Amino acid sequence: MFDSAHQAKSRKSLVSIDSLRKVTTMLPGLLVLPILSIYEDAALNRIRVTGGPRPGIIRSKFKSVWTVASGRTAVTGLLGWLVVAMAGFTARGDGFDRLEGPDLGAALNDPAARKVQTATLAELDQLPRALPDLRSTVLLVQTDQGAISRLVISSARRRKPGGDQKPLTVAMVERFATFDSTARAARRTAAGSNLPLFDGFHLDLDGGYVVPADQGGDLYYDAKENRLHAGPGCWLVLLDQSPAAWTISSSDPDAARKPTPGRKVVPQDFAGRFRYFGDGGFAGVLTLTVDDQGELGGSFRSDANGATYPLVNGRLGDSAPNHITFTLELPRARLEHDAHLWTDGKAVLAGTARLQDRPSGFYALREE
């Protein structure tokens, strides 16, 4: 058991529909908004929830997942489920997770970057925070295969279960992701979290696993000095300040812009960052930008491989002010979208996606 391990607790509570509406403004990844819209029309005061759907799945009749009752029915177990889901989406949506291959590649050539062969965890902790919404230090590693990895590492202690021995000091890799910088879309090759690195063991960042000392690891840990070392042909990259490219990527003015109040939709209301869920498990982060001339642009980052794909042929307001069409340029296909922005709150984008003349549904929820 790790002394620094996080523990999640859930509690049961009663939540009214009005309370749920307030909570959903903080939980972009949940399917509560469609539920509220449907059952408010039915004038239900409360709903009973016995479970939660997996992201990307809406069951039309909510069989075996949602149980609906009229009158003053309690919502049991919902609050704990919301807290757990909110924690997951918060972690996934911070500046660290939005750093992709192009951002990492730009950081290597930034004046703020220093390439070294070794550094103690204390030295890493003293570096300035490179991202405004992340309290931990970001470490970059250039692997022996030319890939770039971003990591958050901290010192932790592990005590043998049931033993009285002195706790071992380990390097806890809280999060990491590796990108192939030579790929067209900076494909993500490996990712992981909560990975302990024991004394003398090596971490192969290209594959995402711990290996013995002679098996081509990119990073290893010396517990005696509480120090990290780069493997042969690798570099640790320390950041003395936030690289210029990161300031633009993680704090995109369009992504942070809030929609205008009221139900009237203007072109700038489409700008922002959305959690995208498509039929068949296709999911990721959709970023929409709108320039001063009302031209639509943006990109899509896949959850499956971390690659980023451009948005092309964006058009606004063809049939209605809240109407939008755009295409995602995938490696071997084009995914065409036709959707509408919900006028109430302007936080939901929903419509159809067409891949090689095969239509399917999608929805996207605005990230705050």
DSSP letters, 152-196, are: EEEEEEE--TT--SPPEEEEEEEEEEEE-TTSTT--EEEEEEEEE
Task: Classify residue 12: in a domain, yes or no.
Answer: no
Which pLDDT value is given to residue 185? 52
Task: Specify the residue for token string 């002010």.
Answer: 321
Residue 123 vs residues 127, 171, 226, 242: alpha-carbon distances, Å: 7, 14, 10, 17
Specify whether 131 is located in the same domain as 233.
Answer: yes
Task: Classify residue 267: in a domain, yes or no.
Answer: yes
Instruction: Count CB-CB contacts under 10 A for residue 233.
Output: 12
Which pLDDT value is given to residue 183? 55
Task: Specify the residue for token string 């499956």.
Answer: 304
Q: What is the pTM for the complete model shown?
A: 0.53
Start-end of H helices in the chain = 17-24, 32-41, 78-92, 95-98, 101-108, 121-126, 244-250, 253-256
Q: Which of 223, 246, 269 is the last residue of a domain?
A: 246
Which pLDDT value is given to residue 220? 93
Pairing status of strand 48-49 against strand 66-67: antiparallel
Task: Classify residue 10: in a domain, yes or no.
Answer: no
Domain holding 180, by residue range, is 96-246
Q: Which of 246, 275, 303 is the last residue of a domain?
A: 246
Which pLDDT value is given to residue 16? 40
Specify whether 220 is located in the same domain as 238.
Answer: yes
Which pLDDT value is given to residue 184? 53
pLDDT tens-place values along the chain, 368 residues long: 454 444 443 333 333 434 444 444 444 444 444 443 433 333 333 333 333 333 433 333 333 333 333 333 334 344 444 433 443 343 345 677 777 777 788 888 888 889 999 999 989 888 887 776 677 788 899 999 889 999 998 888 887 777 677 888 888 999 998 988 765 556 788 888 999 889 988 999 999 988 888 888 999 999 999 999 999 999 999 988 777 656 544 444 444 567 887 888 988 899 988 999 998 888 999 999 888 777 888 999 888 877 888 899 888 877 899 999 999 998 888 999 999 999 988 999 999 999 988 999 999 999 86
Rounded to whole angstroms, the Cα distance separating 272 from 120 reads 39
DSSP state of 259: P
Task: Classify residue 11: in a domain, yes or no.
Answer: no
CATH of the domain at 292: 2.40.128.120
Which pLDDT value is given to residue 233? 92
Specify whether 86 is located in the same domain as 100.
Answer: no
**Taking the chain, what is the end-to-end CA distance rounded to the nearest angstrom?**
35
Specify whether 81 is located in the same domain as 199.
Answer: no
Q: Which of 65, 92, 119 is the last residue of a domain?
A: 92
Q: Tally the domains of the chain.
A: 3
Q: Please, are residues 348 and 340 in contact by the beta-carbon 8 Å criterion? A: no
Which pLDDT value is given to residue 117? 95
Rounded to whole angstroms, the Cα distance separating 8 from 4 reads 13
Specify whether 223 is located in the same domain as 268.
Answer: no
Specify whether 277 is located in the same domain as 235.
Answer: no
Which pLDDT value is given to residue 15? 39
Which pLDDT value is given to residue 127? 85
Rounded to whole angstroms, the Cα distance separating 10 from 247 reads 35
